[in-house]
Structure 1
Amino acid sequence: MPITEESAARARRLRELHRPGDPLVLVNVWDAASARVVAAAPGTAALATASWSIAAARGSADGERLPLGEMLDGIARVAAAVDLPVTADLERGYGATPADVGASVTRALEAGAVGCNIEDGLPEWGPAGPLRPLEEQLERLRAVREAGERAGVPLVLNARTDALAEGLPVREAVRRGRAFLDAGADCVFALGAETVPVVEELVEALDGRVSVLATTGGPSLPELAAAGVARVSMGPGPMGAAYAALRRLAEDAAAGRPLPTDLAFRPS
């Protein structure tokens, strides 16, 4: 998909949707059919892919085990299926060096994405712990921003930190988040922010430029909005919900129970 002025317009629209206290809520998708179903829901303003879900749909594990070409194919199919801004989960950036990460982001833009997630967690504990050393991560984020500038697309960079998910204190998530914003990130995705007080602390420290994951049992969407976040996503949760319904259908069919009335539903 060629990068056009429409790509830039969609990127600007995606950025505008990040409003602290009135967050962009993203139901993550993984293929053309799921993209069309979510896009058709009233109020849907943008879509996000979930790397876990794209990988699972193709028989692979998450964690950049799915080759980049296949991940980009999944992103391209989502972007081609809808007329909404699409932000892509690019995991750690699919690159050993900042230049490699920039090249991956360029390819994601060519696939139709106008935003991306880049995370700082490492697949294994390194000498500095479970997270990439901060200065290294900042170089990678700067390369993402530069890739967008070269392409003429003001892509929306959602910089993820796994500090809380790895059991580190909130102050470490804040330290990294501030540095990410200074390096050009638009929003800080704090994986593991699962209580209202923690979310509120992050929002205050990061000027509301906070993205969180909505989870069953965690703060509700209204609570997250009241806490002041700018973005809420659901990761692989939507695929789990869809496939749980599929499992129930299979169990009902095997047991001879009545089939659901939405069996006739077809993605538009």
Structure 2
Amino acid sequence: MPSQNDTAKQFRALHQPGNPLILTNVYDAATASVIAALPTASAIATGSYAIAATIGVDDNALTKAQNLTAIAAIAASARATNPTKPLTVDVQDGHGDASELADTIRQVIALGAVGCNLEDMDATGVLWSVDEAAARVGVAVQAAREAGVPDFVVNARTDVLLTENGTVEEAVQRGRAFLNAGATTIFVWGGPSGRGVSSAEVKKLVDALGGMVNVKMNLRDGFLGVKEIRELGVARISVGPELWRAAMKAFTERAEQVLAIPATNPIYAGISITAVFIDNAGTIILATKWPIIIRRSTFVRSTIARAASATPAQVGVGTQVVIVVVEGETKVAVVHVSVRTQAGALPHPPAGQTAASVWEEDVVNKSGFGVGVD
């Protein structure tokens, strides 16, 4: 079993300009186990934004105790899955003054970390001066050395571009100071909604800092991928909260599909039914007042198709059904039905038969749908 510093040396060696280390940031025990098990993942990295979101707080409100608790769970899960894979952790600005920073480094090392992300802006949005920030990098490096991990990797992040007049030249100045203080790589953050960092600026940083640059990759369309970023000559690529965002998006979409219709009819997830009702006083009532419930999915699919002179195969995910119902003195009458699929509006019923009559006969009278007041 390698020593913790042997693992730190292994991790440090992965930072090669032009052949970058790629980190898919994790945020809980489950995601840590996934990345620890992947043979293509060289190391495990946490991200404070997603950790904070997972426990229901803002990134800037994440406390030292909360972060360390999350890191402890992540470290234990990673160690149980693959005890030799390096772990680097996001400690934000170190959670306090120099003394607190040193304590944070000692605690994450005790949990098994061999590297950290360290920011030069505190939780209140105040940017440390170049000298102060460089000294803090030195504090982290010294604390790691004293804890028996002299090859501990510090990825020093500068948020200078988030300030009103921050420039790439200032980022270079800070990056050089941080490297001189013992940092391994420099991460220049453009902000979640800030100015960003262009390809040309990344190249400038690479040239000025000997390639020891970390770039955060955006997984959305229109942004550079691994190949393009690698060609810029960086030493490290991370994704921050991108995988957390993707997971939340997938979770939301699947939940919406499940909740759209009863679980007994999952094949009809994606058929949207919007009901507009007009009572006998001429008042428009929306579907929230008159819920429509799919009870017999195969029957309903064929009914929607008949009402629009279509085949059941045309009625699938993406289909929208609009129903207009008039509430009379003694009965509810369907007066209009329109059906639109992803391919466009479906044709009207044959001559002599209206969509409304088909809908009223098959759906209202035969109870393919239930219509009622909540």
Q: TM-score, normalised by structure 2?
A: 0.64
User: By percentage of residues, which structure has more helix?
Assistant: 1
Q: Name the stretch that deviates more: 193-202 or 219-228.
A: 193-202
Aligned residue type for 2:114 = V
Aligned counterpart, 1:249: 254
CA distance in 1 between partners of 2:5 and 2:66 (Å)? 24
Question: SS in structure 2 opposite 1:131?
Answer: coil
Aligned counterpart, 1:77: 73
Aligned counterpart, 1:265: none
Q: What's the CA shift for 1:206?
A: 0.1
Q: What's the CA shift for 1:54?
A: 1.2
Q: What's the CA shift for 1:259?
A: 10
Q: Name the stretch that deviates more: 181-190 or 34-43.
A: 34-43
Aligned counterpart, 1:66: 62
Change (3 A) 1:218 1:100: same
Aligned counterpart, 1:16: 13
Aligned residue type for 1:52 = Y
Contact kept in structure 1, 2:93 and 2:123, CA below 8 Å: no
Aligned counterpart, 1:120: 120
Q: Name the stretch that deviates more: 73-82 or 207-216.
A: 73-82
Number of residue-to-residue matches in the alignment: 251
CA distance in 2 between partners of 1:160 and 1:59 (Å)? 24
Aligned counterpart, 2:153: 156
Change (3 A) 1:149 1:248: same
Change (3 A) 1:47 1:135: same
Change (3 A) 1:116 1:259: farther
Aligned counterpart, 1:264: none
Change (3 A) 1:144 1:5: farther
CA distance in 2 between partners of 1:214 and 1:88 (Å)? 18
Contact kept in structure 2, 1:194 and 1:219, CA below 8 Å: no
Q: Which runs of 4+ in 1 moved over 6 A?
A: none
Q: What's the CA shift for 1:132?
A: 1.0
CA distance in 1 between partners of 2:142 and 2:31 (Å)? 31
CA distance in 1 between partners of 2:144 and 2:2 (Å)? 13
Unaligned runs of 5+ in 2: 191-195, 270-374
Task: Tell me which of the two structures has the higher relative contact order, counting C-alpha pairs closer than 8 angstroms and 6 or more residues apart.
Answer: 1
CA distance in 2 between partners of 1:93 and 1:101 (Å)? 4
Unaligned runs of 5+ in 1: 261-268
Contact kept in structure 2, 1:212 and 1:229, CA below 8 Å: yes
Contact kept in structure 2, 1:21 and 1:229, CA below 8 Å: yes
Matched, 1:37 2:40: no
Q: What's the CA shift for 1:124?
A: 4.0
Contact kept in structure 1, 2:158 and 2:171, CA below 8 Å: yes
Q: What's the CA shift for 1:219?
A: 2.0
Residue identity over aligned pairs, in percent, reads 39
**Could you report, residue by residue, the CA deviation over 1:118-159 in whole angstroms, capped at 9, with x for unpaired residues?**
10123445xxxx521111111211110001100111210000
Q: What's the CA shift for 1:218?
A: 2.7
Contact kept in structure 2, 1:75 and 1:112, CA below 8 Å: no
Matched, 1:205 2:205: no
Question: SS in structure 2 opposite 1:189?
Answer: strand
RMSD: 1.9
